[in-house]
Structure 1
Amino acid sequence: MDTAGTPSLDRIRIGSAPDSWGVWFPDDPLQVPWERFLDEVAEAGYEWIELGPYGYLPTDPARLSDETARRGLRVSAGTVFTSLHRGPAVWDATWARVGPVAELARAMGARHLVVIPSFWRDDRTAEIVEPPELSAGQWADLARGTERLGREVRERYGLGIVVHPHADTHLDTEEHVERFLDATDPDLVSLCLDTGHYAYCGGDSVKLIETYGERIGYLHLKQVDPAVLAEVVENGLPFGPAVRRGVMCEPPSGVPALEPVLAAAQRLGVDLFAIVEQDMYPCPPDRPLPIAARTRRFLRSCGA
């Protein structure tokens, strides 16, 4: 505890991401320019960032290193989307996407690659593109493919993969997350626990940390508005429209409470990134910075 009685979360490294500025795509007229994102994320008080969608930030390591360094920023991770439940036939296409992101992340000094399973429902059109439940064979393909990805990313790039349960993907609920963890090798596959997505899908983040603590390799911090979530569940809304209705809200007004999540993570006794992501696509360009600054102040009040 510090002298004011606030727990010291000295194992937690706070950052933010393009997602908190309404950035979901490499190039989109509804999104703020990357220069503005970098300026504002530094102004809001963050030192760590993620790359966001590959191609949004400069992909030349020398240029990106210059742009981040002069703003006092460092990169914690890159992000890739995968469809490994589709089996070995998608491996080459998967690796073609993974390689450039992993290369840039390594060049920027990052140690993590966030891996998000593909959506079964399109996040732009809400069209259902696959059944929401995997077959036993697809679960096996997902587990083996993810282990292979973890092994090859580590061997080729020195990065660890952290798999991100996400709304409208096959890795969403507590049941699915636990099934995935039980089916994969802890030495190859860790989890990126996104507190907002896990709550959106009915999960308890503190329980997951306390039960599978050795598998937690990374955190995304966000909260869900319970009233909006109830409407989403009642009407079966896809994730994209749910975001536009404000289902992901500014801390500390939503759930889960972040203080016990951060305390549980601190008790693991390992260094963890905790990257703020408040899904807001699309959003007015002047909206993100004040929210990001208030969120940083709130997390400092929690000891982080």
Structure 2
Amino acid sequence: MKIQYGCAPINWSNDDLPSLGGELTYQQCLSEMALSGYTGSEGGIKYPKEFEVIKKAIDLRGITICNMWFSTEFTVFNNEDTFRRFQNHLDYTYGLGARVVGAGECGVTIHGDESIPLFKNQVILDERQFKNLAEGLNELGRMAHAKGMKLCFHPHAGTGVETKEEIDQLMEMTDPETVFLLFDTGHLTLAGEDPVAVLEKHLDRVAHIHVKDVRRHVYETVKEQDMSFLQGVKNGMFTVPGDGDMVNWDGIFDLIKNSSYDGWIVVEAEQDPAKADPLEYAMMARRFLREKLGR
């Protein structure tokens, strides 16, 4: 294995809800990642957009930007604008060290709307939308490959691709040479799936990994009280590996240890930093990963 460990700034400030951790600086975020033993960070809304500013900040701390979320809009057929934005995204993130791009479909989504209950409003894509999504991802995959990067599709709660069946369908409809999977333990758990089964089936397509756990009592409250995704986040639905109680980590890590996976494992939590000190939880997760994977 050639695994590197990163941490997402979403643990300090949430891209979908910037008011969480809005008072924390990007310098603190990056410094605490480095202090916790991570060498990679994902991009985030808190980070400066000016290339030279963020490049200097990460270089000072020995951090690489290993991935930065990209929103596709193929389910609303906004293809040309998506292609244009993606090329700019490739150029920017490549210069910061990223060799993968995690893309999530946001043309039709409910995950960013606090007023919409998550579990009663699952997004269902029609055949035409799904076909355009697959074809669009194939084109993005070719663009990424030409840049020396990998496109990784990120199934996400509240979007049209989150269940095992939907992931299976998308993997079948896309080019295995250029379209890869971003494996996320937390979102698969929210979708009611077994992350171990998904990883076992698609391990050869996985090029980037997000690890987070789910607190069962909050998950059940979100379902029972018809709460939105963001309400769940604010109430502590997610946490870091080593703290939650829904993900089968031994099953996940056994598969990874017995594979030839070559890439990043990135810790996420999506918690309110006023309730869960980001440094404490980043360090907790790093210890857990070291115990389970040996480094």
- Please, what TM-score do these two structures have when normalized by structure 1? 0.87
- Match of 2:265? 274
1:59-97 Cα distance to aligned partner (Å, 9 max, x none): 33333222112111112112111121223xx12221343
Given residue 17 of structure 1, which amino acid in structure 2 is its aligned partner? A
Give the 3 Å change call, closer, same or farther, for CA 135–26 of structure 1 in structure 2: closer
- Match of 2:201? 211
**1:67-106 pair list within 5 angstroms:** 67-87=57-77, 90-106=78-94
**1:183-194 pair list within 5 angstroms:** 183-194=173-184
- For residue 28 of structure 1, report the CA deviation from its aligned partner: 5.0
SS in 1 for 2:82: helix
Given residue 197 of structure 1, which amino acid in structure 2 is its aligned partner? H
**1:155-304 pair list within 5 angstroms:** 155=146, 157-252=147-242, 253-280=244-271, 282-284=272-274, 287-302=277-292, 303-304=294-295
SS in 2 for 1:70: helix
- For residue 100 of structure 1, report the CA deviation from its aligned partner: 3.1
Matched length: 289
Contact 1:194–1:220 (Cα < 8 Å) also in 2: yes
Counting aligned pairs with the same residue, the percent is 25
Q: What CA RMSD, in Å, does the superposition of the two structures yield over aligned residues?
A: 2.3
- Match of 2:29? 37
1:263-289 Cα distance to aligned partner (Å, 9 max, x none): 212322131211001112x43287111
Given residue 152 of structure 2, which amino acid in structure 1 is its aligned partner? V
SS in 1 for 2:251: helix
Contact 2:211–2:241 (Cα < 8 Å) also in 1: no
Contact 2:11–2:278 (Cα < 8 Å) also in 1: yes
Distance 2:49 2:91 in 1: 10
Stretches of structure 2 lacking an aligned partner (at least 5 in a row): none
- Please, what TM-score do these two structures have when normalized by structure 2? 0.90
Distance 2:229 2:111 in 1: 9
Distance 1:297 1:227 in 2: 24
Say which is worse superposed, 101-110 or 167-176, in terms of deviation.
Answer: 101-110
- Match of 1:24? 15
- Match of 2:52? 62
Distance 1:192 1:63 in 2: 28
Give the 3 Å change call, closer, same or farther, for CA 286–139 of structure 1 in structure 2: closer
Give the 3 Å change call, closer, same or farther, for CA 293–122 of structure 1 in structure 2: closer
Give the 3 Å change call, closer, same or farther, for CA 225–52 of structure 1 in structure 2: same
Stretches of structure 1 lacking an aligned partner (at least 5 in a row): 1-9
SS in 2 for 1:66: helix
Given residue 52 of structure 2, which amino acid in structure 1 is its aligned partner? A
